């Protein structure tokens, strides 16, 4: 079936939803009204582009008829207009193909962002802090909210591990390709010989799980309480407010000590555990789907080295799409949108290449 075969059905459904949204029986039902409002917003962009596409096609037919006119001047104007309209038609077709690609149901979700220092000791921990700062500033530029759920610091100001919730509009759709190993090459401040060191951090981007996604049996969870502490054992709490949850069937362990109360830490730890279990569920499903075809960008392989940040050269390279940008300072300040845009475009191109002709 052609990609455009169902566009008339999409437009019919759009009109139907518009009518329902003005129906008093619908407006009185908040849940249904909210669902229809969301569907209306999703269909609106497709319908607007499709209507413009149909208008351009009608104008093309009209100008083709003018080519049969005897007036040479009119023919020339029609030829010029046809060239412009053909370009517009091609662009609109491509736009519609992208809009009609299968939607990732998780794209609208908030995320759990986990950054862990890997090889490189203190330098890796400092880089983990740099990465979190980069993502936090990018989140600010998007109007998103960042909430730290768990943090383990080092004496030097680095992060052994940080777990945060990023909330906002379509967060997962923008950050889902950030999972993997991030490598940094730079001269540490403690390096007296000026040698470049290589360190690494792992980044995991998990779609926030909802209660309906994962049903956890309370009997499958072991709860341990301990005292919170900061870097080097400082700021020790007198009460055991820190929480560690162990999911016995999978062995997943989540610790949370950033909140001031045991209740808050337990709720945050449960939120992270649900998202990790949901991510595990997605990974299993994706592995089955990838048996036929592996998408390089969307593989989500945590062990895959996806990006290198080379400070001496001011270079950032994403190895999955062979993208190199010589504006590392700006990227580390949160201007990572250009890299994300390129990853999204590559993923969409891959999806289009596997569409039915």
Based on the domain organization, do 123 and 241 belong to the same domain?
yes
| Per-residue confidence (pLDDT) for residue 230, from 0 to 100 | 56
Q: Among 23-27, 36-40, 191-195, 213-217, where is mean pLDDT lowest?
A: 191-195
3-state percent breakdown (helix, strand, coil) of the chain, nearest 5: 50, 20, 30
Total domain count, the chain? 2
Based on the domain organization, do 67 and 123 belong to the same domain?
no
Q: What pLDDT, in 10s, does the model give residues 280-322?
A: 888 887 776 555 444 445 444 455 789 999 999 999 999 999 9
Based on the domain organization, do 149 and 83 belong to the same domain?
no
- Is 137 a member of any domain? yes
DSSP 190-235: T-SS---EEEEEEEEEEEPP-TTT----GGGEEEEEE----GGG-S
Q: Can you give the pTM of this predicted structure?
A: 0.76
- Is 321 a member of any domain? yes
Based on the domain organization, do 89 and 119 belong to the same domain?
no
- Is 308 a member of any domain? yes
Based on the domain organization, do 139 and 288 belong to the same domain?
yes
Confidence band of 1 (pLDDT split at 50, 70, 90): very low
- Is 183 a member of any domain? yes
- CATH code of the domain containing 64: 1.20.58
Choose the final residue of a domain: 37, 67, 99: 99
Mean pLDDT of 143-158: 92
- Rounded percentage of the chain residues whose pLDDT exceeds 90: 46
Choose the final residue of a domain: 53, 69, 99: 99
Based on the domain organization, do 129 and 217 belong to the same domain?
yes
- Largest separation between any pair of C-alpha atoms in the chain: 95
| Per-residue confidence (pLDDT) for residue 233, from 0 to 100 | 44
> Would you say residue 53 has pLDDT above 50?
yes
- Is 106 a member of any domain? no
* Residue with token string 């940040």: 309
Range of the domain at 345: 111-292+301-350
> Would you say residue 2 has pLDDT above 70?
no
Based on the domain organization, do 94 and 122 belong to the same domain?
no
* Residue with token string 């950054």: 115
Based on the domain organization, do 264 and 144 belong to the same domain?
yes
Q: What pLDDT, in 10s, does the model give residues 243-289?
A: 899 999 999 999 888 767 888 888 888 989 999 898 888 888 777 65
Choose the final residue of a domain: 58, 74, 99: 99
Based on the domain organization, do 147 and 173 belong to the same domain?
yes
Based on the domain organization, do 87 and 129 belong to the same domain?
no
Based on the domain organization, do 199 and 310 belong to the same domain?
yes
Structure tokens at 22: 């003005």
Cα separations in angstroms, 183 against 110, 223, 280, 316, 318: 26, 35, 24, 10, 10
Closest by Cα among 278, 265, 146, 149 to 211: 278
- Is 356 a member of any domain? no
Closest by Cα among 347, 349, 325, 348 to 337: 325
- CATH code of the domain containing 257: 3.30.70.1660
Based on the domain organization, do 92 and 165 belong to the same domain?
no
């Amino acid at each position: 079936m052609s990609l455009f075969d169902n566009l008339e059905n999409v437009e019919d459904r759009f009109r139907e939803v518009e009518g329902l949204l003005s129906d008093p029986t619908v407006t009185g039902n908040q849940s249904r009204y909210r669902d229809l409002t969301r569907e209306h917003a999703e269909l609106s962009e497709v319908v607007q582009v499709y209507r413009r596409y149909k208008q351009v096609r009608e104008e093309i037919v009209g100008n083709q008829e003018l080519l049969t006119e005897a007036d040479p001047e009119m023919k020339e104007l029609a030829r010029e207009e046809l060239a412009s309209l053909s370009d517009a038609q091609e662009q609109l077709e491509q736009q519609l193909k992208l809009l009609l690609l299968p939607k990732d149901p998780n794209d609208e979700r908030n995320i759990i962002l986990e950054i862990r220092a890997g090889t490189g000791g203190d330098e890796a921990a400092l880089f983990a802090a740099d990465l979190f700062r980069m993502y936090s500033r990018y989140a600010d530029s998007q109007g998103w909210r960042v909430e730290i759920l768990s943090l383990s610091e080092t004496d030097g100001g680095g992060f052994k591990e940080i777990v945060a919730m990023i909330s906002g509009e379509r967060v997962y759709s923008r950050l889902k390709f950030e999972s993997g190993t991030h490598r940094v090459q730079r001269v540490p401040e403690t390096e007296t010989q000026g040698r470049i060191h290589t360190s690494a951090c792992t980044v995991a981007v998990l779609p926030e799980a909802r209660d309906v996604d994962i049903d956890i049996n309370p009997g499958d969870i072991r709860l341990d309480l301990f005292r919170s502490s900061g870097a080097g054992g400082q700021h020790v709490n007198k009460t055991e407010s820190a929480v560690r949850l162990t999911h016995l069937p999978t062995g997943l362990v989540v610790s949370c000590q950033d909140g001031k109360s045991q209740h808050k830490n337990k709720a945050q730890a449960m939120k992270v555990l649900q998202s990790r279990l949901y991510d595990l569920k997605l990974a299993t499903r994706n592995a089955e789907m990838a048996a036929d075809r592996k998408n390089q960008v969307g593989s989500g392989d945590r062990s895959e080295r996806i990006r290198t940040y080379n400070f001496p050269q001011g270079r950032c390279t994403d190895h999955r799409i062979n993208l190199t940008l010589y504006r590392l300072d700006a990227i580390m300040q949160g201007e990572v949108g250009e890299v994300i845009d390129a990853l999204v475009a590559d993923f969409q191109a891959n999806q289009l290449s596997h569409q039915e002709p």
